[in-house]
Amino acid sequence: MSLRARLFTIVSLACVIAVSSALAGGQAHAVAATPLTGHFPIEEHIAVLDPESTVCGFPISSDFTGQGTFQVFFDTLGNPIRINVLEHSTGTLSANGIDLRFASSDNKFYDLQNQTLAEVGLVFRYSAPGLGVVLMDRGRLIWNIDSNGEMVGDPIFEAGPHPELNGDFGGLCAALTP
């Protein structure tokens, strides 16, 4: 599973829990409810990171930790209409005895009424001392999402370099090859 898909799964789970908790409280006001805000830890170990491992031809692992924050916004009937999620995480990407630094500062804006997701920021950056940035995915992506918040198809808008989407892992493979 790709790093983007892993992070998306973590965020989706946190949002489902938040929305379920809010709905269980019985929002029945004539005005929009106060947004629900919360935090969640990010701690992930990925033994074989794909598609990176497949493309490079050797196993690449990833370990990262961080903090996520979410806000769920409601309409006047108490239905969730928008979810904003901010994630900050750091860690390592490893293969063949070589470690790269991992950093991410990703913002996700779910528009549940229009069924879109805008992803803005630094999805990931892999770097190493003496090499600098090896691979970086950043910018803005807009996706269609289904009723469960899962991305559907290819992005409907793309700005900035997104090498993972385009399978461009040459620099990463070279940096992790002894």
Residue 12's pLDDT is 56
**What is the rounded distance in angstroms from the CA atom of residue 10 to the CA atom of residue 97?**
28
pLDDT of residue 79: 93
Contact between 25 and 33 (Cβ < 8 Å): no
User: How many percent of the chain have pLDDT more than 90?
Assistant: 78
User: What is residue 70's predicted lDDT score, i.e. its pLDDT?
Assistant: 98
What's the pLDDT at 18?
52
133, 111 contact by CB (below 8 A): no
Pairing type for strands 98-111 and 132-145 reads unpaired
Give the pTM: 0.79
Cα–Cα nearest to 51, from 5, 109, 87, 97: 5
CA distance 47 to 82: 33
What pLDDT, on a 0 to 100 scale, did the predictor assign at position 15?
54
Q: Which residues of the chain have pLDDT under 50?
A: 27-29
